[in-house]
C-alpha cells in the first residue's frame, strides 16, 4: 500500500467504492468498466457478479473471473428448506464457488485495475466469502481499484479504507454518470 507522505497513513484515494442498493446498477457499472478497459489492454483482475434472471426475476448470481473469463454459479435464491453452510437473508451460496472466488481474489494482485463486485455482509460482518478481496484492497498493489458495496456497509468500508472515493448510486438512472466518472479516473490514473 502506498502511504500518504504527510501523514504516513495508507493512501486509499485510488480505491473507488460504487455504493448502491440492490438493483441500482453496481454490477452494470463494474462490467461496463471492465469491458471498456479490456479494449485498451488494461491488466484487469477480480470478479464481477452478474445476476441470473428468469422471466425478469433475479433467481441467482454468477461469479465471473476477469482474468480467466471463467464463470461459476455463486448463489441461488434462498428457500425455507435450504440448509447450506453459507447463507444470507436472500441467498444460498455455493461453498465451492465462494472458495474459488476467494482464490481468484487472492491471486488478483498485482494488477492494473482490480474490480471486486461485490463485498457484502458475508465479508464485512461474517468474515466469510471473499475475504481475500478485502485483503487485496487493503494491500494496494494496483493502479486503481473498484469495489461494489451496499449503503449500509459504507461507514464500515470507509473506516477500513479512509480516503476512498465514493460513487453513490441511488438508482439505475445513475449508471452512465458513475461509469463515466470511473472511466475518467482510470484514464487519469
Residue 122: the pLDDT is: 85
Grid cell 449503503 is found at 151
User: Above pLDDT 70, what percent of the chain?
Assistant: 92
Residue 139: the pLDDT is: 94
Residue 83 has pLDDT above 70, yes or no: no
CB 114 within 8 A of CB 66: no
Residue 6: the pLDDT is: 44
Mean pLDDT across the chain: 90
Residue 48: the pLDDT is: 98
130 grid coordinates: 471473499
Compute the distance between CA of residue 56 and CA of residue 72 in angstroms, rounded to an integer.
Answer: 21
- What's the alpha-carbon Rg for the chain, to the nearest Å? 16
With cut-offs at 50, 70 and 90, classify the pLDDT of residue 9. Answer: low
Residue 135: the pLDDT is: 96
77 grid coordinates: 435464491
Compute the distance between CA of residue 185 and CA of residue 50 in angstroms, rounded to an integer.
Answer: 23
3-state class of 125 per DSSP? coil
With cut-offs at 50, 70 and 90, classify the pLDDT of residue 84. Answer: low
CB 8 within 8 A of CB 158: no
Strands (E), the chain: 15-20, 44-48, 51-54, 57-65, 71-77, 86-87, 91-93, 111-117, 142-149, 165-169
In sequence order, what are the beta bridge partners of 44? 113
Please give the average per-residue pLDDT across 58-83, as a whole number. Answer: 89
Amino acid at each position: 500500500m502506498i502511504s500518504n507522505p504527510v501523514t504516513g497513513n495508507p493512501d486509499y484515494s485510488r480505491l473507488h467504492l460504487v455504493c448502491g442498493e440492490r438493483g441500482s446498477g453496481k454490477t452494470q457499472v463494474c462490467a461496463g468498466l471492465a469491458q471498456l478497459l479490456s479494449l485498451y489492454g488494461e491488466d484487469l483482475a477480480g470478479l464481477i457478479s452478474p445476476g441470473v434472471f428468469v422471466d425478469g426475476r433475479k433467481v441467482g448470481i454468477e461469479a465471473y473471473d476477469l482474468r480467466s473469463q471463467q464463470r461459476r454459479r455463486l448463489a441461488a435464491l434462498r428457500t425455507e428448506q435450504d440448509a447450506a453452510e453459507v447463507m444470507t437473508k436472500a441467498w444460498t451460496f455455493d461453498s465451492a464457488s465462494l472458495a474459488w472466488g476467494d482464490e481468484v481474489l487472492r491471486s488478483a494482485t498485482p494488477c492494473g485495475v482490480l474490480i471486486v463486485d461485490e463485498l457484502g455482509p458475508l465479508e464485512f460482518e461474517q468474515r466469510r466469502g471473499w475475504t481475500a478481496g478485502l485483503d487485496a484492497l487493503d494491500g494496494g498493489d494496483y493502479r486503481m481499484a473498484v469495489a461494489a458495496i451496499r449503503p449500509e456497509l459504507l461507514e464500515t468500508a470507509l473506516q477500513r479504507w479512509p480516503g476512498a472515493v465514493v460513487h453513490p448510486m441511488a438508482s439505475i438512472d445513475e449508471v452512465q454518470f458513475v461509469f463515466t466518472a470511473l472511466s475518467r479516473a482510470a484514464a487519469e490514473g
